[in-house]
């Protein structure tokens, strides 16, 4: 099961209702939060994808379970516009060369649903919102490469870890939005 | 202001009669760019319904004052919602009942000719998808050629004419649409005919269509002469009805010719295609009226909505029949082919009886435009 902030039941509803309800549900979410939409209308996949694009939300993916389509959407966030302050920074290319090496940890701070559909193999998923409580369990000796979609949430995460006493923290820019290295998904 | 439903049949008549129409297509952009309603006097714009949820004031400015407006979507639900919103803002508007789904399935029967003994030949124009099928009627019997999966339409039509469907034929194994031939033959007790080379290992029984075999319907002289014409599929067959009509299947169209690649053998079959078009068809009477299994663009429709032309005309005007250089012809029909039809491999397997699909799945498989030809 993929963790989300909200779930919408649009099962049994015909077009246009799944989108009408999704739009309403999105209005109630905070920027960056993730919504699961359960629908049975086959056309809902193409329409949700197209709608998300036109409304600037992020369409993460769809899982088919029998008759039910589970769509995952992330509300347009404000994080992408944040300044990036943390040093050092690594490019996607630099991280690609480090993969598989001893002594590194790839920490993915995106939401669980974003991670589910597309992530770097061996990376550890700790959404930004859970980082404070989970920082304790991370290995301070390792070089920690932090990734998110665009490098903004990971910048914030890198600063949090630095403040918590981590010294080998590297922000990966831009991150998954332009990642062309190996990935895993569901 | 009011919202009026418009059936696919009513819309078809309006397009054939060249009435001016303005279509507001509210499907998503991919669906619209892939496949849309067209016509000589049809103007259409595409604004997805989900971009109109907050209001239609902006769209109203784009609608013409003097042309009827029809809202269209995939199944009708969204078009009703948008039509209601437009009506609330004072716009008279109609919506297409059943949406593009109904549009894809509508068959418009049009009489295309009389036979010498008093019989008739009808063309069923599937206007939304460009498929053409035929019913030849003589006395109290009928033969059906290249029937679509909307089997009730033919069965009801025959019943209304008071004729019995005796023979059901497919010119070839179709890759762009699902054949209703076998089902109709089973329902009416008719005989189902297929080219044997297109029907290897099919799990159902059929009569093989072979050159020189004549079928007859009615008591009189009408005969259907299978004319073996490979090129689109290896088994493609043409028929000459009553020495007047050449049913050319997917080999020759009014404005284009068949593509040889839908069973993956473009290089092998291009020679057959050329042989059929440039030798076999050339040897036939130029007075024959060509009745193809498809049309690609609305310009191919005659004034009455039917699709036909004399073979002589086609040898004069159809570009595909006028490429003298064999090498150039080979290039033309094997390179730069248009995209292949939606789900064409599955459609072939379904037509061979190798897989089964329910009616909703069949509908999905057929979505989109026809792409059987090379212009």
Does A134 reach chain B within 8 Å, measured CB to CB? Answer: no
Q: With bands split at pLDDT 50, 70 and 90, how would you rate the model's confidence at B221?
A: low
Q: What is the interface pTM, i.e. ipTM, of the complex?
A: 0.79
Domain boundary among A22, A43, A74: A74
pLDDT at position A79, please? Answer: 62
Name, of A97-101, B69-73, B234-238, B281-285, the range with top average pLDDT: B69-73
Tell whether A100 and A171 lie within a shared domain.
yes
Structural domain including A168 reads: 79-178
State what percent of residues in chain B have pLDDT above 90.
66
State mean pLDDT over A138-148: 95
Tell whether A102 and A173 lie within a shared domain.
yes
Cβ neighbours of residue B193 closer than 8 Å, sequence gap 6 or more? B167, B168, B169, B170, B206, B207, B208, B209, B215
Does A47 reach chain B within 8 Å, measured CB to CB? Answer: yes
Q: Is residue A53 part of a domain?
A: yes
Q: List, by residue range, all CATH 3.60.15.10 domains of chain B.
A: 107-374
State mean pLDDT over B89-103: 95
Please tell me which residue in B52, B56, B73, B290 is annotated as part of the active site.
Answer: B73
Q: List, by residue range, all CATH 3.40.250.10 domains of chain B.
A: 3-103
Q: Is the dihedral of CA A165, A170, A175, A180 positive or negative?
A: negative
Any catalytic annotation for residue B131? Answer: no
Cβ–Cβ below 8 Å for A43 and B81 = no
Q: Is residue A34 part of a domain?
A: yes
Q: What is the mean pLDDT of chain A?
A: 93
State mean pLDDT over A72-95: 85
> Between residues B236 and B93, which one has the greater pLDDT?
B93
Phi first, then psi: give them for residue B292, nearest 5 degrees: -85, 170
pLDDT at position B374, please? Answer: 66
Q: Is residue A169 part of a domain?
A: yes
Nearest to A15 among B53, B74, B364 (CB): B74
Residue B78 and residue B96: Cα distance in Å, rounded?
A: 11
Q: Is residue A1 part of a domain?
A: no
Question: Looking at domain B3-103, does it have CATH number 3.40.250.10?
Answer: yes
pLDDT at position B219, please? Answer: 59
State mean pLDDT over A30-54: 93
For chain A, how many structural domains are there in total? 2
Cβ–Cβ below 8 Å for B49 and A46 = no
Nearest to B78 among A16, A54, A55 (CB): A16
**Residue A102 three-state SS:** coil
pLDDT at position B66, please? Answer: 93
Tell whether A172 and A88 lie within a shared domain.
yes
Cβ–Cβ below 8 Å for B50 and A19 = yes
pLDDT at position B223, please? Answer: 63
The enclosing domain of A150 has a CATH number of 3.40.250.10
Q: Is residue A98 part of a domain?
A: yes
Cβ–Cβ below 8 Å for B77 and A19 = no
Residue B14's Cβ-side half-sphere holds a number of Cα atoms within 13 Å equal to 20
Q: Is residue A183 part of a domain?
A: no
Name, of A75-79, A167-171, B336-340, B344-348, the range with top average pLDDT: A167-171
pLDDT at position A83, please? Answer: 73
Please say if the pLDDT value at position B216 is more than 90: no
A12, A13, A14, A15, best to mutate vs chain B, most B CBs in 10 Å = A15
Per-residue pLDDT tens digits for B337-349:
777 777 888 999 9
Residue B138's Cβ-side half-sphere holds a number of Cα atoms within 13 Å equal to 20
CATH of domain B107-374: 3.60.15.10
């Amino acid at each position: 099961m993929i963790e989300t902030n909200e779930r919408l039941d649009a099962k049994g509803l015909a077009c246009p209702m799944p989108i009408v309800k999704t739009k309403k549900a999105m209005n109630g979410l905070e920027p960056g939060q993730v919504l699961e939409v359960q629908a049975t209308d086959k056309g809902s996949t193409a329409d949700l994808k197209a709608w998300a694009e036109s409304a600037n939300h992020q369409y993460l993916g769809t899982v088919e379970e029998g008759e039910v389509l589970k769509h995952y959407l992330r509300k347009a966030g404000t994080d992408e516009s944040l300044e990036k302050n943390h040093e050092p920074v690594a490019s996607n290319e630099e991280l690609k060369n480090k993969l598989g090496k001893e002594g590194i940890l790839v920490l993915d701070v995106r939401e669980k649903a974003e991670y589910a559909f597309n992530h770097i193999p061996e990376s550890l998923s700790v959404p930004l919102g859970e980082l404070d409580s989970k920082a304790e369990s991370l290995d301070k000796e390792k070089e920690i490469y932090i990734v998110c979609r665009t490098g903004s949430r990971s910048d914030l995460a890198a600063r949090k870890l630095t403040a918590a006493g981590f010294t080998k923290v590297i922000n990966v820019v831009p991150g998954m939005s332009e990642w062309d290295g190996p990935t895993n998904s569901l | 202001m009011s919202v009026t439903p418009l059936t696919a049949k009513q819309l078809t008549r309006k397009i054939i009669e060249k009435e001016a129409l303005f279509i507001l297509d509210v499907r998503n952009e991919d669906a619209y760019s892939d496949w849309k309603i067209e016509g000589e006097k049809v103007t259409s714009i595409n604004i997805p319904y989900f971009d109109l949820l907050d209001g239609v004031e902006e769209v109203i400015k784009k609608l013409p004052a003097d042309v009827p407006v029809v809202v269209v979507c995939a199944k009708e639900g969204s078009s009703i919602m948008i039509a209601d919103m437009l009506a609330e803002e004072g716009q008279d508007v109609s919506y297409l009942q059943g949406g593009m789904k109904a549009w894809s399935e509508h068959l418009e029967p049009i009489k295309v000719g009389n036979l010498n003994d008093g019989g008739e030949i009808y063309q069923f124009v599937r206007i939304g998808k460009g498929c053409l099928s035929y019913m030849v009627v003589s006395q109290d019997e009928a033969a059906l050629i290249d029937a679509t999966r909307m089997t009730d339409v033919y069965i009801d039509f025959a019943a209304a004419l008071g004729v019995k469907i005796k023979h059901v034929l497919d010119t070839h194994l179709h890759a762009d649409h699902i054949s209703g031939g076998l089902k109709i033959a089973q329902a009416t007790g008719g005989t189902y005919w297929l080219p044997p080379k297109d029907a290897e290992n099919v799990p159902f029984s059929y009569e093989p269509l072979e050159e020189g075999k004549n079928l007859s319907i009615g008591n009189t002289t009408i005969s259907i002469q299978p004319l073996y014409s490979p090129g689109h599929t290896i088994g493609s067959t043409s028929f000459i009805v009553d020495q007047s009509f050449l049913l050319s299947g997917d080999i020759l169209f009014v404005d284009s010719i068949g593509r040889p690649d839908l069973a993956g053998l473009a290089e092998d079959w291009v020679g057959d295609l050329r042989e059929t078009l440039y030798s076999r068809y050339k040897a036939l009477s130029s007075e024959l009226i060509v009745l193809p299994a498809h049309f690609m663009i609305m310009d191919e429709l005659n004034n009455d909505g039917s699709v036909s032309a004399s073979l002589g005309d086609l040898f004069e005007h159809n570009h595909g029949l006028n490429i003298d250089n064999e090498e150039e012809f080979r290039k033309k029909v094997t390179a730069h082919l248009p995209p292949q039809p939606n789900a064409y491999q599955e459609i072939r397997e379904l037509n061979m009886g190798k897989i089964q699909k329910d009616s909703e799945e069949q509908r999905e498989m057929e979505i989109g435009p026809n792409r059987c030809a090379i212009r």
